[in-house]
Structure formats: structure tokens, C-alpha cells
Amino acid sequence: DQQVKQNSPSLSVQEGRISILNCDYTNSMFDYFLWYKKYPAEGPTFLISISSIKDKNEDGRFTVFLNKSAKHLSLHIVPSQPGDSAVYFCAAKGGSNYKLTFGKGTLLTVNP
Amino acid sequence: GAVVSQHPSWVICKSGTSVKIECRSLDFQATTMFWYRQFPKQSLMLMATSNEGSKATYEQGVEKDKFLINHASLTLSTLTVTSAHPEDSSFYICSVRPTDTQYFGPGTRLTVL
């Protein structure tokens, strides 16, 4: 049973436009969510996180939105740059449980 | 954040041999480190939690006798894949957790022939 789902395996966007990556979760105990960026043959790099007490967190070009009632979060990248091309993983954890549950990832391609 | 290194970055070995992967926390004293595995086009799956000075905690379905973990200091955890087989070929990644956020190492690509 997949508790964190990224239903789009890939997304292609033009440079300068907005990239929107989506993530759904099923476990209502999750209260902290993270986005990681990963290049092939490298470890994931932390991008941005959000606690369930918030509905938005922004850091530069990256904004994460959380809709708790829909159990949905999204990562917005504006403006998108070719260097943003990578696989993006959504992850979640709940309470004092340190364990991260990852989605399967979305491959973002930003075309020049 | 936290800076994590892994060694080696890639390794090729023959079936039946053992391989040791090191994970170092360079700027944070980690009482706990995490070992993940990622198969091609799949998600990252937690294998085990490495605890400094005590036994590791393994996730369901992970053979503790096959994946030996040692966490002898606050900056070093090692994962030894014993009697490796081709199905153990994967990308192994460790992480540390200074806050609610986990920071990952660069990963080790293991190929078992």
C-alpha cells in the first residue's frame, strides 16, 4: 500500500514557466512533508519542507502548498530553469516517527 | 543542513563476495544514521536505522544477517553486504537527521556480477 503517491512519472515544462509537481498521501498521521531533488547516481538533495500547521512555505523560486483536507501537496517552481531538470521526490513523516516515506518520484524536464 | 559522504561511490564485485560501504557525517554528530536502497525507477526504501553503540533496527523484509550495520562512532556507519548476489545490485544511500529533515549522502552504486 503506497502511502505517498506521485501520480505523474514525468513532467515537461518550458524554461521560464511554472513547474507544478503534485503529491498525494493517505496516512492522516503524516504531519511533516519534504521535497527532494535527485540527479542520476547522486543522493537526494533537500529542497523545501512544510509542517502540517502551515499551508504554504516559500523559499526563493520554490513554494510548497499543503491541503490537509485533500491530503495533497504540491511543489511550485517559478521560474523554471534547465538546471531544475531532475527527479523530484515527495516524502512524509508522522509525529515522533523519524521514518520517511517516499513517493516514486516525478521526472521534471525543463526545456530551454 | 548536514554534509554526508559515502565511500565508495561505486563498486563492482563478484557474486558471493562481501562489500562494505562507509557513510560519514562530516559536520554533525549522528547518534542515528539511516540506510536506504533505491532500485531503478523506484522509490527510496528505508532498509535500516543505524544506532551508535547499539544494534541497528531493520525494516520488515530486510535480512539483518545479510546487511550488517556497524555504527561505532558518532560520525561513521558502515553497511556490509555479505555474500552479495546480483539481486543485491542497487543504489545504497545513507542519511542523517539533525532536525526533522534528513540529509543524504551521494550514494553508492553496487553492481554484483
Rounded to a whole number, what is the distance in Å from the CA of B82 to chain A's nearest CA?
23
pLDDT, position A99: 87
State whether A105 and B43 contact (CB < 8 Å): yes
Q: Which residue of B has its CA nearest to A34?
A: B101
- Cis omega before residue A112 (within 30°)? no
Rounded to a whole number, what is the distance in Å from the CA of B11 to chain A's nearest CA?
13
Residue A1: pLDDT above 80? Answer: no
Q: In the sheet where A72-77 sits, what is the strand order? A: A4-5, A19-25, A72-77, A62-67, A56-59
pLDDT, position B19: 97
State whether B104 and A99 contact (CB < 8 Å): no
* pLDDT tens per residue across span B55-64: 999 999 999 9
Largest CA distance in chain B: 39
Q: Which residue of B has its CA nearest to A44?
A: B104
Helix (H, G, I), strand (E, B) or coil at B62: coil
Cell readout for A62 is 520554490
Q: How far is CA A2 from CA B5, B44, B100, in A?
A: 30, 12, 22
**B82 closest CA partner among B64, B97, B102:** B64
CA distance B97 to B4: 11
Residue A96: pLDDT above 80? Answer: no
State whether A42 and B106 contact (CB < 8 Å): yes
CA distance A47 to A43: 13
Decide: A76 and A63 in contact? Cβ < 8 Å: yes
* pLDDT tens per residue across span A24-63: 999 999 999 999 999 988 999 999 999 999 999 999 999 9
State whether A89 and B44 contact (CB < 8 Å): yes
Which chain B residues are within 8 Å of A98, Cβ to Cβ? Answer: 32, 34, 49, 97, 102
